[in-house]
Structures are given as C-alpha cells and as structure tokens.
Amino acid sequence: MSKRFENKVVAITGGSEGIGLATAKLFAAEGAQVYLTGRRQERLDEAVREIGNGAIGVQGDAANLADLDRLYERIQREHGKLDVVFANAGIAEGEPRPLGTIDEAGFDRVFGLNVRGLLFTVQKALPLLTAGGAVILNGSVAGSKGFPDQSLYNASKAAVRSFARSWTTDLKERGIRVNVVSPGGTETRLMRGYLDTRPGVEDMLTQIVPLGRLGQPDEVARAVLFLASSESSYIAGVELFVDGGSLAV
C-alpha cells in the first residue's frame, strides 16, 4: 500500500466506530499518526486496538469544547502540528420528528453536535493546521433532500455544506482546503438505528439507489483520504457525494 500520509498527523472526531473508524484505519495504514475521539472509553480503546500502530484515542465528546481543547492540547504537546482534520462526529434524531413535534432539547442535541461541535472542531484546530493542510467535513445527502420527519438532521447537514463554502475562502491564504464528503445510506450503527425505527425505509432506499444497496464505511473512507491527499490538490469547497448515484440519477 502507498504511504501518502507518512509523517502526517490526522485528527478524527467520532472515530471509534462506523465511517470514522474505517477512515482512521486507512490513514494509519498509509503512514499517518491518527488521533481519534469517542465518547465511550471502552469502545475507543477497542478501536485503537483494531487500528494498531499509528492510533491514539482521546476520550471526548465533539460537542464539548473542553474535550476538543484536550484533544488539540495533546496533539500540540506531542507533535506541534496537524495536517488533516476529519470532522466526522454527528448524530441523527433518535425517532421521527415531523414539524410540530420538535422540542428544544432535540434541537440542541442535533445542532449542538452536527453544527456547533463541527464548527469548533475546525476552529480550535486552526492554530495547529499546517499550510496546505486539509479539512474534511462529514455531511450527508440529507443536506440536499427533504427527508420526512428529520428536518433537524437535514438542516444541520445543509449547514455543514455551507461551512465548506465559507471556510474555503476564509482559509485560502493559508492554502488549507475544505471539502465535504456526503454519504448516502451507509451501513453504520447510526444508520441502522434510523432504519430499524422506520419499517420499509431500507427497501425504499435500496430501490432508489442506482447501485441497489447501502454503502459500506470503507467506501466513504476512501473518498475522505482522496480529499485529504495531494491527489485532490485543486479541489476545494466541493461536496463529494458517496451515495451510489442516488442524487445524481
């Protein structure tokens, strides 16, 4: 395997499972020192063992600014730089929430992580980010659709897309590229929890996806590594859909 990220330092929020874990594994395999966060220490420890050499777990919640500070303080202390940030941590609504049933706690929960947490994940990384570094935000096809009963999630992912546009111009003088990877239906715990509470949705999804199936976390991970690598050196501010063609066709 090529070593595109030899001597690079990578931070991934929500890296203890799903897309985050799959991405951490690929970065480590290509030579990066990967710092990953997760809220549950036990699961984070398991993820670090799965990844092996090149992985360091820092327990924390990306919605908690003090936890983000601890992550970056450790990276500063141990490496003094950061080359790639994958702001991956996110959450969906736990149950259907059509307009008229949305409460304040639900709003704060979804926007607190998907928007506020993601914003400060990137902003607090800026002092460490090297010139020419890469920021990848985890979006979703939901940011471009009006999926029923989940307007909070849809809107939070639309905000992620908007951030990439603005931050591309904000950071252009430092040569830091900001892009979004937007998965479609992907076989993760988050997605499985959503599908299991909505009978028939999985069949509907696979029918509208031209490739006829859900995606796998490592398929999204490979797109993240492309956006983080020099192979995408002239790509900035884009939203790369990894959705089996569901939005394009």
Q: What are phi and psi of 181, to 5 degrees?
A: -105, 125
| Single-letter code of the amino acid located at 79 | H
Q: Within 13 Å of residue 199, how many CA atoms lie on the same side as its CB? A: 0
Among the options 35, 72, 153, 194, which is catalytic?
153
| Single-letter code of the amino acid located at 90 | G
Other CB atoms within a 10 A radius of the CB of residue 224 amount to 28
Is residue 165 packed enough to be buried (19+ CB in 10 Å), middle (13-18) or exposed (0-12)?
middle
Task: Give catalytic status of residue 234 as yes or no.
Answer: no
DSSP letter for each residue of 212-235? -S-B-HHHHHHHHHHHHSGGGTT-
Kindly state the tokens that stand for 90.
């996110």
Other CB atoms within a 10 A radius of the CB of residue 155 amount to 16
Containing 15, the helix (H) or strand (E) segment is none
DSSP letter for each residue of 118-181? HHHHHHTTTTTEEEEEEEEEE--GGGGS--TTBHHHHHHHHHHHHHHHHHHHHTGGGT-EEEEE
Kindly state the tokens that stand for 69.
């500070």
Cα 49 to its chain centre, rounded Å, is: 21
Q: Which residues are catalytic?
A: 153
